[in-house]
């Protein structure tokens, strides 16, 4: 060991894999966050477990592609069930999501113990599913990730303006003849691909963070969707690589949680310091305003302050009506 | 107007129900080209639903809609739409120019990106609504009136013949209201047909030349001076309306 | 049935009921996902307390974890209040971060203490009865039964004491505030209960499946009843039924008990979702079909009434014309005409429809002003 961090071949493969995952989930997670479906990823990733178990039971194979297919299918079924529950009953989005997430996972657990009992698999399978095992990523896995993720990102950029309009203004999109149902399905499918690819690296429990954190961080730095997607991908990649490197530099630090914590640090940094939106600047501006107001007396506001105040009230007005499916706190 | 018979919009026996609860009942509406039509009626009268049904955003239980004698899907290119301002998330990461260019997406077709031509059209439209200085502004930094102008500009770049606008005067300042009215009148002067969901009964006679009184079914429609009578208004707003018991 | 089987089922029932009661309010307040967040985010609290006490059922551990749970709620709300992060994203950021800290703590330092991740995430009801409460050498039964029993009593007491306040705060927070009920206090009280319940339950069912116990029975009960009191009782009953049937399902196939309970929760929801009278999917489909016919019939009579006595009446009342005018498919138009004829709303002669007195009555009634 010449350096503190051993840069060996395995580490490079794992780092590339984590970076790829960060790019894919960061870019696609942007749409989930903008559509206020941040937790849909959590549901899809948990709902994938029975799919993996059934795929294994049916084929007896542990080929990643087959398991990925099973996971995607089950994740899809879960999403469909959530949507039909909301549509057909008065149960709201959050309850439907929680119900599907936990009970699908329970079914998966039952199937998993069933497999275990037949002596066909070992416990490691479930642990990998829950927490991922970035360290076990092979060149082959990274290649699969790169190809599938690349296709997903290519589709995203091909339908760029259609997806943007879908997320921003669905009614207008419908009025100009865009097939919004099909686009909605496409977007959820892309999200499912990102999640299933990430399961192996960070696992079901933490996958949602990989979708949400880079996007939330990116939102603070830019007001353009294109930049937000690129930045989210970049943040995702940084989190992936730094998490991998940190966890390999000391013993017994699992990779997945470290990647998530790196992503969280990026979010904290962005929320605090991003220009314009950052909390620190906000606080500084407030202090300055207060000082100025004290100097001029409270009756004279500058035009700028008046505008700022009006914008603030406008924003409040816009945000006050809680959207359906939104969480009240 | 090539022939007197041509109708810009022809709605026949339109019925819309949400979960089997009627929202619009057997509504007929004929709109000649080149008029400025206000749809008025109390809350829950189905004004927005009527527009949405015409545009195919909600599926009618029965009835037929023709735009210049053809069904809506065939005429999308000549129809412009301004949704309610509150229907979108204004914190979406995009700027004014980008939102306005969305009006060209229908004409662009799949995959093709907006280019220089679309940019120019969008800038022209922004100039018409007095917002060219705001082209690069993030949309969350706009006031209510400015947001409405942006939506109008987006409809303008659609370069439509028939426009549908859902409450464009909702929550805008007096200046914006005057600007919108001037714009609507300019559109009409150019032979466009504009249908506006409107709330303020005071201004109907000043702003519009046609009016439709709606309360789940059509009470009356036609030129303002003939139709906007106190008798019709009483029928629209007075008394309670009871529909199917189940 | 052996005594330990009885004990396991009893623990399962107590856990299920304890989870279902606060779950009702979470479902009604649209905050169910907060339980998912809390159940994951309490991990670091559990781990730190476990390092201190080396026991999974010590009161200190429950307190520490409950504190972490409330902290999670606070962090989520603070994040939202910055206006920089939406509610759903705030949850999606907070719990994975806290959970990650917990996982890292465990794998880094817990090598020599007994606390493995499976126990935390999945729980194992089958072993829940092994840890016995002994006082002066007398075996008083499983510890977890006492722990969860206490939590159940706590939940019940809170709900009974503040029933009125909870009800108002759930359905109209601003009214509650104006009545001086301090909705924020009720809110945090409820969140504390959820945290405590989650910690108590994760030992038995793990932190993912506890969400099934919290969300499942109340969501199912919500399909059946409109009354809050009945929803509480029904959720408790459904939770118990799910727990017991889940136990036997697990027994039959020799699989994870917690997983099986989650499965029966899903099955129970599915059965009610499809089959419950009035609100089930099947009932809705049937009613929709009948209403569609009646609705179309009303449309037909109104259409006829609108054009009655006008010059175009002869044309508008032709059966063949309905297809074009009401945009009905030929088959559907025929079905509706048959339905209307059967109900004696219209009469038919020479392919022309005419309103009967009854039909006119229905049309006028539908248009009453």
Note whether residue A154 is domain-resident: yes
CB A236 within 8 A of CB A182: no
User: Which residues on A lie below 8 Å from B88 (Cβ)?
Assistant: 168-169
3-state secondary structure of B11: strand
Label residue A304 by pLDDT band (50, 70, 90): low
> Is C367 close to B235, i.e. CB distance below 8 A?
no
Rounded Cα gap, residues C40 and C25, in angstroms: 20
- Pick the last residue of a domain from C212, C233, C252: C212
Position A124 pLDDT exceeds 60: no
**In chain A, how long is the greatest CA-to-CA distance?**
80
Residues A115 and A256 in one domain: yes
Best CA proximity match to B49, nearest among B14, B24, B76 = B24
Residues A177 and A298 in one domain: no
Rounded Cα gap, residues A30 and A28, in angstroms: 5
Q: Model confidence over C51-75: pLDDT tens digits? A: 887 776 677 888 888 889 999 999 9
CB C202 within 8 A of CB C49: no
What is the pLDDT averaged over residues C32-42?
Answer: 89
- The enclosing domain of C146 has a CATH number of 1.10.3470.10
Position B18 pLDDT exceeds 80: no
What is the pLDDT averaged over residues A36-59?
Answer: 88
Position A5 pLDDT exceeds 70: no
Q: Which residue of B has its CA nearest to C306?
A: B26
Label residue A290 by pLDDT band (50, 70, 90): confident
Note whether residue A324 is domain-resident: no
Residues A230 and A302 in one domain: no
Q: Model confidence over A257-266: pLDDT tens digits? A: 999 999 999 9
Other Cβ atoms within 10 Å of C282 Cβ, number: 12
- The enclosing domain of A238 has a CATH number of 1.10.3470.10
Note whether residue A1 is domain-resident: no
Position B157 pLDDT exceeds 80: yes
Rounded Cα gap, residues B56 and A247, in angstroms: 54
> Is C295 close to B17, i.e. CB distance below 8 A?
yes
Looking at the structure of chain C, the number of domains it has is: 2
Rounded Cα gap, residues C203 and C200, in angstroms: 6
Query: What residue ranges in C26-121 does DSSP mark as E strands?
Result: none
CA distances from C93 to A262, B129, C214 (A): 12, 41, 22
Residues C14 and C103 in one domain: yes
Note whether residue A325 is domain-resident: no
> Is C302 close to B246, i.e. CB distance below 8 A?
no
Note whether residue C102 is domain-resident: yes
Q: Which residue is it, tokens 């091909």?
A: A158
Note whether residue A300 is domain-resident: yes
CB B32 within 8 A of CB B1: yes
Backbone φ, ψ for residue C354 (5° rounding): -135, 145
Label residue C242 by pLDDT band (50, 70, 90): very high
Residues C157 and C46 in one domain: yes
pLDDT > 70 fraction of chain C, expressed in percent and rounded: 94
> Is B26 close to C299, i.e. CB distance below 8 A?
yes
Residues C208 and C340 in one domain: no
Residues A184 and A312 in one domain: no
Q: What's the pLDDT at A6? A: 53
Label residue A302 by pLDDT band (50, 70, 90): low
Domain containing C298: what range? 282-368
Note whether residue C286 is domain-resident: yes
Residues C53 and C186 in one domain: yes
CB A271 within 8 A of CB A278: yes
Rounded Cα gap, residues A215 and A233, in angstroms: 8
Residues A306 and A194 in one domain: no
Rounded Cα gap, residues A27 and A19, in angstroms: 12
Rounded Cα gap, residues A3 and A6, in angstroms: 6
Note whether residue C245 is domain-resident: no
Residues C76 and C204 in one domain: yes
- Pick the last residue of a domain from C184, C212, C240: C212
Domain containing A313: what range? 281-319
Q: Model confidence over A128-149: pLDDT tens digits? A: 777 777 777 888 888 988 999 9
Q: What's the pLDDT at C1? A: 66
Nearest C-alpha of chain C: how many angstroms from A181? 22
User: Taking CB atoms and an 8 Å cut-off, how many pairs form between chains B and C?
Assistant: 48
Note whether residue A199 is domain-resident: yes
> Is B64 close to C292, i.e. CB distance below 8 A?
no
Note whether residue C220 is domain-resident: no
When scoring C215, C239, C286 by the number of chain A Cβ atoms within 10 A, the one with the most, hence best to mutate, is C215
Q: Which residue is it, tokens 């009614």?
A: A171
CB A50 within 8 A of CB A107: yes
Residues A185 and A297 in one domain: no
- Pick the last residue of a domain from C154, C188, C212: C212
Position A80 pLDDT exceeds 80: yes
- The enclosing domain of C323 has a CATH number of 1.10.10.10
Best CA proximity match to C126, nearest among C1, C251, C241, C40 = C251
3-state secondary structure of A298: coil
b/e per residue A283-317 (b: at least 16 CB within 10 A): eeeeeebeeeeeeeeeeeeeeeeeeeeeeeebeee
Residues A45 and A123 in one domain: yes
Rounded Cα gap, residues C336 and B40, in angstroms: 33
3-state secondary structure of C252: helix
Residues C149 and C40 in one domain: yes
Looking at the structure of chain A, the number of domains it has is: 2
Rounded Cα gap, residues C243 and C125, in angstroms: 11
b/e per residue A14-30 (b: at least 16 CB within 10 A): bbbbbbbbbbbbbbbbb
Position A242 pLDDT exceeds 90: yes
Note whether residue C219 is domain-resident: no
Structure tokens at C222: 């919500």
Note whether residue A329 is domain-resident: no
CB C13 within 8 A of CB C240: yes
Q: Please list the helix, strand and coil fractions of chain A in percent, rounded to the nearest 5, in that order.
A: 80, 0, 20
Position A1 pLDDT exceeds 50: no
Burial class (CB in 10 A: 0-12, 13-18, 19+), C330: exposed
CB B24 within 8 A of CB B219: no
For chain C, which chains pass the contact test of at least 3 CB pairs under 8 Å? A, B
Length of chain A: 329
Residues C28 and C176 in one domain: yes
Rounded Cα gap, residues C360 and A238, in angstroms: 73
Q: What's the pLDDT at A286? A: 84
Label residue B60 by pLDDT band (50, 70, 90): confident
Q: Which residue is it, tokens 């109900």?
A: C343
Mean pLDDT across chain C: 84
Q: What's the pLDDT at A158? A: 93
Rounded Cα gap, residues B41 and B39, in angstroms: 7
CA distances from B23 to B30, B235, B244, C363 (A): 19, 17, 11, 16
Residues C177 and C293 in one domain: no
Structure tokens at B12: 């026949």
Position C269 pLDDT exceeds 50: yes
Check: pTM over 0.90? Answer yes or no.
no
Rounded Cα gap, residues B135 and B113, in angstroms: 18
Q: Model confidence over B62-95: pLDDT tens digits? A: 788 888 888 888 888 889 999 998 888 888 999 9
Q: pLDDT: is B13 or C76 the higher one?
A: C76
Note whether residue C252 is domain-resident: no
Residues A216 and A290 in one domain: no
Best CA proximity match to A22, nearest among A246, A241, A188 = A241
Note whether residue A327 is domain-resident: no
3-state secondary structure of C347: strand
What is the pLDDT averaged over residues C23-46?
Answer: 90
Backbone φ, ψ for residue B71 (5° rounding): -65, 155
Residues A111 and A132 in one domain: yes
Residues A187 and A297 in one domain: no
The C-alpha angle with vertex C244 and arms to C32 and C122, in degrees rounded to 5, equals 55
Nearest C-alpha of chain B: how many angstroms from A238? 22
Give the nearest partner residue to C35 out of A98, A212, A213, using CB atoms.
Answer: A98
Structure tokens at B30: 């004929």
Residues A291 and A209 in one domain: no
Question: Which range among B140-154, B223-237, C250-264 shows the weakest confidence by mean pLDDT?
Answer: B223-237
DSSP-derived pairing of the beta strands C346-349 and C352-355: antiparallel
Residues A191 and A300 in one domain: no
Structure tokens at C92: 């999606």
């Amino acid at each position: 060991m010449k350096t503190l961090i051993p840069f060996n071949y395995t580490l490079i493969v794992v780092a590339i894999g984590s970076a790829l995952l960060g790019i894919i989930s960061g870019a696609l997670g942007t749409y989930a966050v903008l559509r206020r479906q941040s937790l849909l990823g959590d549901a899809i990733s948990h709902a994938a477990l029975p799919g993996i178990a059934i795929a294994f039971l049916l084929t007896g194979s542990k080929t990643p592609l087959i398991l990925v297919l099973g996971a995607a299918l089950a994740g899809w079924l879960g999403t469909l069930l959530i949507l039909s529950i909301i549509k057909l009953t008065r149960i709201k989005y959050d309850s439907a999501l929680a119900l599907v997430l936990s009970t699908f996972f329970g079914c998966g657990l039952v199937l998993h113990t069933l497999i275990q009992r037949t002596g066909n698999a070992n416990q490691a399978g479930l642990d990998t599913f829950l927490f991922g095992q970035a360290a076990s990523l092979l060149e082959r896995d990274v290649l699969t990730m790169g190809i599938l993720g690349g296709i997903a990102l290519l589709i995203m950029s091909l339908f760029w303006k259609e997806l943007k309009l879908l997320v921003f203004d669905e009614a207008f999109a419908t009025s100009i003849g865009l097939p919004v149902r099909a686009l909605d399905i496409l977007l959820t499918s892309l999200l499912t691909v990102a999640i299933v690819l990430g399961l192996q690296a960070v696992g079901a429990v933490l996958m949602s963070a990989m979708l949400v954190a880079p996007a939330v961080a990116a939102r603070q730095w830019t007001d353009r969707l294109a930049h937000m997607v690129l930045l989210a991908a970049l943040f995702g990649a940084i989190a992936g690589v730094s998490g991998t490197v940190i966890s390999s530099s000391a013993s017994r630090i699992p990779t997945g949680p470290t990647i998530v914590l790196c992503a969280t640090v990026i979010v904290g940094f962005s929320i605090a310091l991003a220009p314009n939106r950052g909390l620190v600047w906000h606080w500084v501006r407030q202090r300055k305003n207060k000082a100025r107001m004290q100097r001029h007396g409270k009756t004279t506001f500058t035009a700028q302050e008046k505008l700022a105040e009006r914008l603030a009230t406008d924003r409040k007005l816009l945000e006050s009506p809680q959207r359906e499916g939104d969480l009240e706190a | 107007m090539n022939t007197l018979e041509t109708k810009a919009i022809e709605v026949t026996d339109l019925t819309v129900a949400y979960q089997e609860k009627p929202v619009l009942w057997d509504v007929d509406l004929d709109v000649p080209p080149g008029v400025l039509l206000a749809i008025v009626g109390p809350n829950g009268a189905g004004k927005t639903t009527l527009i949405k049904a015409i545009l195919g955003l909600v599926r009618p239980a029965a009835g037929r809609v023709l735009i210049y004698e053809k069904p809506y899907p065939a005429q999308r290119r000549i129809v412009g739409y301004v949704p309610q301002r509150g229907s979108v998330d204004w914190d979406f990461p995009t700027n004014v120019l980008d939102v306005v260019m969305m009006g060209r997406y229908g004409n662009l077709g799949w995959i093709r990106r907006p280019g220089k031509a679309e940019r120019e059209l969008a800038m022209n439209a922004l100039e018409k609504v007095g917002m060219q200085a705001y082209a690069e502004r993030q949309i969350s930094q706009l006031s209510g009136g400015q947001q409405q102008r942006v939506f109008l500009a987006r409809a303008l770049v659609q370069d439509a013949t028939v426009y549908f606008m859902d409450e464009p005067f909702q929550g805008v300042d007096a200046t914006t209201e005057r600007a919108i009215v001037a714009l609507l009148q300019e559109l009409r002067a150019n032979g466009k047909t504009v249908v506006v969901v409107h709330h303020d009964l005071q201004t109907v006679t000043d702003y519009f030349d046609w009016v439709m009184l709606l309360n789940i079914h059509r009470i009356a429609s036609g030129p303002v001076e003939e139709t906007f009578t106190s008798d019709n208004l009483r029928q629209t707003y007075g008394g309670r309306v009871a529909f199917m018991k189940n | 049935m052996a005594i330990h089987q009885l004990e396991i089922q009893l623990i399962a029932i107590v856990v299920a009921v304890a989870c279902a009661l606060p779950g009702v309010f979470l479902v009604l307040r649209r905050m169910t996902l907060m339980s998912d967040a809390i159940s994951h985010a309490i991990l670091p609290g559990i781990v730190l307390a476990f390092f201190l006490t080396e026991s999974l059922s010590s009161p200190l551990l429950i307190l520490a974890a409950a504190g972490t749970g409330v902290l999670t709620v606070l962090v989520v709300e603070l994040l939202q209040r910055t206006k920089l992060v939406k509610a759903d994203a705030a949850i999606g950021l907070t719990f994975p971060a806290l959970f990650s800290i917990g996982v890292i703590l465990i794998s880094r330092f817990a090598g020599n203490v007994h606390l493995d991740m499976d126990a935390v995430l999945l729980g194992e009801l089958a072993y829940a009865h092994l840890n016995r409460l002994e006082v002066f050498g007398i075996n008083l039964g499983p510890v977890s039964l006492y722990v969860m029993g206490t939590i159940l009593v706590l939940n019940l007491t809170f709900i009974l004491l503040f029933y009125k306040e909870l009800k108002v705060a759930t359905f109209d927070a601003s009214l509650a505030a104006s009545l001086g009920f301090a909705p924020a206090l009720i809110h945090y009280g409820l969140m504390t209960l959820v945290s405590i319940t989650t910690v108590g339950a994760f030992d038995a069912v793990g932190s993912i499946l506890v969400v099934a116990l919290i969300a499942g029975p109340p969501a199912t009960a919500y399909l059946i009843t409109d009354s809050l009191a009945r929803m509480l009782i029904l959720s408790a009953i459904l939770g118990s039924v799910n727990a017991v049937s889940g136990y036997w399902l697990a027994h039959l196939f020799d699989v994870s008990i917690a997983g099986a309970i989650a499965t029966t929760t899903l099955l129970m929801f599915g059965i009610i979702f499809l089959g419950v009278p009035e609100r089930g999917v099947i009932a809705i489909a049937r009613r929709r079909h009948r209403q569609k016919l009646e609705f179309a019939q009303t449309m037909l009579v109104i259409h006829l009434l609108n054009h009655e006595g006008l010059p175009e009446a002869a044309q508008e009342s032709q059966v063949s014309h309905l297809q074009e005018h009401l945009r009905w498919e030929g088959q559907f138009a025929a079905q509706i005409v048959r339905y209307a004829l059967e109900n004696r709303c219209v009469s038919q002669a020479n392919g022309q429809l005419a309103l009967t007195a009854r039909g006119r009555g229905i049309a006028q009634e539908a248009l009453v002003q």
